[in-house]
C-alpha cells in the first residue's frame, strides 16, 4: 500500500486553488490534479467539507476538502479507504499546526514525513488491520504452543510405552528370579 502523490492546495474561489505543496514535485499527476480534478471538485463542492474517491488507471485519488484547503492523495488500489482517510486526518492535523502555510520547504518536509511514516507502516493507520495483525500474531503463538503440547504428548506416549516395556521386562525378570531361587532351594 504505497502513497504515490500528495498535494495540499489553498482554495481561492469556486474553481481555483493555489498549490501549496506537492510530493513528489512536478509529476504526471500534477497536471491531472491541477488542470482537471481541482476545478471539477471545487465546482461540485461549494467549498463545503467533503471526502471523495476517484479512480484513475491503477490508482485511487482521495480528495478531502477541509477549512479552505483541498488535500489530494493518490495511492495504489491495494490501499484501504480507512487507512488513506486516517493518513489524511493525520496530515490535516499536522498541517493545521503549521504556522506559515506558505512555506513550501517546511510543508514539503511535513508531507514527506507523513508519507514516509505511512509507507513504512500502513497498518498503524488502519486500526482494523492492526487488530487483525494482532489476532494473526496471537493465532501463530497458539498454533506454536499447541504443536509443542502435541510433541510433548507424543514424547509422553513414547515414555509411557517404554515404561510399560520396562515393567514387563522387570516382571519377567522377577518371575525368572523367583523360579531360579526355588530351583536353587530344591537343589540344596
In contact, 61 and 37? CB cutoff 8 Å: yes
The radius of gyration of the chain from alpha carbons, rounded to an integer in Å, stands at 35
Mean pLDDT, rounded, of the chain: 82
Tell whether the model's pLDDT for residue 47 goes beyond 70.
Answer: no
Spatial separation of the C-alpha atoms in residues 154 and 128, rounded to whole Å:
39
On the question of pLDDT at 67 being above 80, the answer is: yes
pLDDT, tens digit, for every residue of 9-39? Answer: 888 877 778 888 888 887 777 777 777 787 7
Query: Closest by alpha carbon to 187, among 179, 46, 43, 14?
Result: 179
pTM recorded for the entire structure: 0.63
Q: What are 73-131's pLDDT values in tens digits?
A: 888 887 788 888 888 888 888 888 877 777 778 888 888 888 888 878 776 777 777 78
Q: What is the mean pLDDT of residues 134-160?
A: 85
pLDDT, residue 87, reads 86
1 pLDDT above the threshold of 60: no
**What would the grid cell of residue 142 be?**
497458539
Segment 46-74 mean pLDDT: 82
Amino acid at each position: 500500500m504505497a502513497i504515490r502523490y500528495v498535494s495540499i492546495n489553498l482554495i481561492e474561489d469556486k474553481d481555483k486553488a493555489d498549490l501549496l505543496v506537492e510530493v513528489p514535485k512536478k509529476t504526471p499527476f500534477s497536471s491531472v490534479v491541477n488542470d482537471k480534478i481541482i476545478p471539477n471538485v471545487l465546482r461540485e463542492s461549494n467549498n463545503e467539507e467533503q471526502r471523495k474517491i476517484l479512480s484513475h488507471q491503477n490508482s485511487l485519488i482521495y480528495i478531502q476538502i477541509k477549512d479552505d484547503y483541498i488535500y489530494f492523495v493518490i495511492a495504489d488500489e491495494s490501499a484501504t479507504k480507512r487507512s488513506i482517510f486516517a493518513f489524511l486526518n493525520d496530515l490535516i492535523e499536522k498541517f493545521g499546526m503549521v504556522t506559515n502555510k506558505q512555506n513550501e520547504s517546511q510543508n514539503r518536509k511535513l508531507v514527506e514525513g507523513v508519507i514516509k511514516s505511512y509507507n513504512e507502516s500502513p497498518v498503524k493507520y488502519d486500526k482494523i488491520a492492526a487488530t487483525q495483525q494482532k489476532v494473526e500474531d496471537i493465532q501463530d503463538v497458539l498454533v506454536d504452543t499447541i504443536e509443542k503440547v502435541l510433541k510433548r504428548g507424543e514424547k509422553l506416549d513414547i515414555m509411557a510405552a517404554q515404561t510399560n516395556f520396562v515393567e514387563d521386562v522387570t516382571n519377567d525378570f522377577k518371575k525368572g528370579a523367583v523360579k531360579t531361587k526355588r530351583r536353587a532351594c530344591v537343589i540344596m
